[in-house]
Structure 1
Amino acid sequence: MTTVRTITSDGAGAVLRHAADRKTVVWTLLLMPAVAIVQYVWPKTAGFLMPLSIYLAYCAGVVAHNHNHTPTFVDRKSNGWFSTWISIFYGYPAFAWIPTHNENHHKFGNRPGDATIIWHRFKKNNAAAALFYFFVSAKEQGPLIARYIAKAREKRPVIYSLIRTQYAVVYGVHAAALGLALALHGPLRGLLVYASALGIPAALALWGLMFTNYLQHVDCDPWSKYDHSRNFVSPWLNWFVFDNGFHTIHHERPGLHWSLARAAHNKEIAPHMDARLAESSIFGYCLKTYLLALVSKRYRVAPLVTVAELEAREREEQRRWSRKLPDEPDEPDVTKGGPRWRCLPSVVS
């Protein structure tokens, strides 16, 4: 681990855990606010800059995800304010990754118990399923977030305070940003400025991260050590999204820093996984799977395992654990090679 010292607004040093997170700092502390401010100062750029704002909001979600697995800074205070800062551009408090992703998705990995499980709700991989997956999964994740907040309120007052702060900052800043846009530019232009700079990008970031999760797991084998996830391996596209395309290695080693994912994927995953799970890009996969496959059988790819096979495996697991001995654990560790999840929330790092 290489540490790098940056300077916070109060003049104190904030030490990065990894030198690669200089890029994270540039994206979050410079590009994200700068692109939003430009649209407020020069409202004619609103709309034209919206695609860039959407990309940066998506990156805010990726950074929030990375930050909750491997905190960006060494000290707890810096990690706390950074979580709150990126929540503004992501559009939702970053703490929510902990109960829904760190503690749930990584534990169950598209198997029964995962709030974002795909094959319980969608029997075929098509564009409609991919588009609506966010809404179904968000409904299932709600109770996880509510229980996490209730537990924090009861037992962890420091964490509960940060949760309240994140909600207040995210919704407070967005309300203030909308009010400022309306005051500066009038109703119609002001609404466009806010929507382009912050509103629509944040909404699409929430949807986009869930859409990505769908593509990374659909038609894969959740009980396999190497074939439970699809990987998007294009070097240049991964550069833009902090190597978020390497998903199998992330599940196997969730505490691994994002900058090390490519090398670890090439060494530990690529030689063993099904070659069909190495796609160049999300865009190419969507084009092939959801458009070209409709007009040509050439582009139709069978799932690694069918839903019927997954349901049979689930019944087998249920029968096996219904016969467990009294001293066996209540929750089966159905992963291979040890658990694939690690909860290292930035709020307590």
Structure 2
Amino acid sequence: MARPAYRLLAYSLWDLIPIVMALAHFAFVLWLTLDFHALSWWVIIPSALLYAVSLSWSINSISHNQIHNAYFTPAWMNRAFDLLLSVTIGFSQTLYRDIHNRHHRGNSDLPDAHGKTIDPLSIYLHGKDGQPDNPWAYTFLSFFRDDPKEIYQEMQRKRPDDARWVKVEIAVTVAFYLALAFFDWHAVLVLLPFWYLGQSLSSLNGYYEHLGGNPDLPIAWGVSSYSPLYNLIWMNNGYHAEHHYRPKMHWTKVKAFHRQIREEQRAAGVKVIPVSHGLGFLVSHRR
């Protein structure tokens, strides 16, 4: 693939959009914490709710696209951008990359005879009798169920440089929020439950990206939403069946890819919902 004229970007000038939005997201977090003491509760509460939504948005758009097609050509710039995302979102981007890649290896697979799944994020992992987990349990308990120890140990064996960078990301993230707490501990304490809510909203999003998908049929591994507004704001995350079918395809190309395989998708029974994945609970999912 020919690189764009601007050689710092690995794929497309369109990637300037998520890069700028990542910087804006970080600035928003700084503003909300550093100016917290000067804000009224009429500003704090809606801003905190926006903060929670923005975490799910960043995880499923900016961070997600960085995982599959790193934005920059120089490796050090991708390291730096991963660090920025880690601090903004509140967890290691490099570790999340491996968790997410394991998700694509399993594609929300069903548990084996020992109750294990390849995909650590599978909606079937904690379900019963081959059924998906309860949506509210998956949404609000996934944060406490996650155990990346095995994935990190595999990273240590295969890519020790990445494992060391995970420690850097965690250390800088912890130091950053300790510094914010030193500046205004009230702000960090108030925003902490909204941070958890943001992680839960990301799980909610992931649940409806796969509820009704077919774990045994690659073209139907994911569930898509073609809402124009959703895909504009979330950088084509709605094309999720297409993404799982071709995970290395750049986010700007999945819409055209959908048009190419639309009839094949219909024949395979690919599920489509009329709302964004995060609002999937508003839709009836009965077969």
Give your verdict on TM over 0.5: yes
Q: Which has the larger radius of gyration?
A: 1
Residue by residue over 1:48-70, the C-alpha shift from the partner in whole angstroms, topping out at 9 and shown as x without a partner, is 31232223222321222221111
1:81-100 superposed matches below 5 A = 81-100=80-99
1:133 maps to which of 120, 124, 138: 138
**Matching of residues 35-46 of structure 1 within 5 Å:** 36-38=30-32, 40-41=34-35, 42-44=38-40, 45-46=43-44
Q: CA distance change for structure 1 residues 229 and 128 in 2, over 3 Å: closer, same or farther?
A: closer
Q: How does 1:18-37 map to 2 (within 5 A)?
A: 18-34=12-28, 36-37=30-31
Greater relative contact order: 1 or 2 (C-alpha under 8 angstroms, separation 6 or more)?
1
Q: Which of the numbers 258, 262, 270 marks the counterpart of 1:265?
A: 258
Which residues in structure 2 correspond to 1:1-349 (within 5 Å)?
3=4, 5=6, 14-15=8-9, 17-34=11-28, 36-38=30-32, 40-41=34-35, 42-44=38-40, 45-62=43-60, 63-102=62-101, 104-111=102-109, 112=111, 113=117, 114-123=119-128, 129-134=134-139, 137=142, 141-142=146-147, 145-154=148-157, 156-182=159-185, 191=186, 193-194=187-188, 199-269=192-262, 271-273=264-266, 277-282=271-276, 285-289=280-284, 301-302=286-287
- Using the size of structure 2 for normalisation, the TM-score is 0.82
Bigger mean CA offset, 126-135 vs 210-219: 126-135
The structure-2 alpha-carbon separation of the partners of 1:99 and 1:271, relative to structure 1 and needing over 3 Å to count, comes to same
CA 1:140 to 1:49, structure 2 compared with 1: closer, same or farther past 3 Å? Answer: closer
Contact 1:64 1:87 in 2 (8 A): no
For 1:301, the aligned partner's letter is R
How far apart, CA to CA, are the structure 1 residues paired with 2:5 and 2:195?
29
Cα gap change, 1:119 to 1:15, in 2 (>3 Å): closer
8 Å contact kept, 1:54–1:201: yes
8 A contact 2:95–2:152 mirrored in 1: no
- Residue range with higher mean Cα deviation, 130-139 or 200-209: 130-139
Instruction: Decide whether the 8 Å contact of 1:65 with 1:97 is kept in 2.
Output: no
In 1, distance between residues paired with 2:234 and 2:270?
Answer: 22
User: What is the TM-score normalised by the length of structure 1?
Assistant: 0.68
- Counterpart amino acid of residue 68 in structure 2: H
Q: CA deviation at 1:80?
A: 0.4
Q: Identity rate of aligned residues, in percent?
A: 18
Residue 309 of structure 1 aligns with which residue?
Answer: none
Task: Write the letter of the residue equivalent to 2:233.
Answer: F
Q: RMSD over aligned Cα, in angstroms?
A: 3.0
- The equivalent residue for 1:337 is none
Answer yes or no: is the 8 Å Cα contact 2:210–2:223 preserved in 1.
Answer: yes
The change in CA–CA distance for 1:270 and 1:80 in structure 2 (over 3 A counts) is farther
8 A Cα contact 2:56 2:201, kept in partner = yes
Q: How far off is 1:284 after superposition?
A: 5.5
8 Å CA contact retained: 2:143, 2:199: no
| SS of equivalent residue, structure 2 residue 9 | strand
Aligned length: 272
- How far apart are the structure 2 equivalents of 1:4 and 1:267? 28
Q: Which residue of 2 aligns with 1:320?
A: none
Whole-Å Cα distance in 2 between the matches of residues 159 and 36 of structure 1? 27
How far, CA to CA, are the matches of 2:128 and 2:164 in structure 1? 41
Q: Distance in 2 between matches of 1:147 and 1:275?
A: 35
Q: Which 10-residue stretch deviates more, 123-132 or 164-173?
A: 123-132
Cα distance in 2, alignment partners of residues 267 and 284 from structure 1: 27
Aligned residue identity for 1:239: L
Shift of 1:120: 4.7
How many Å separate the matches in 2 of 1:157 and 1:60?
27
> How far apart, in 2, do the equivalents of 1:285 and 1:155 lie?
38
Letter of the structure 2 residue corresponding to residue 101 of structure 1: H
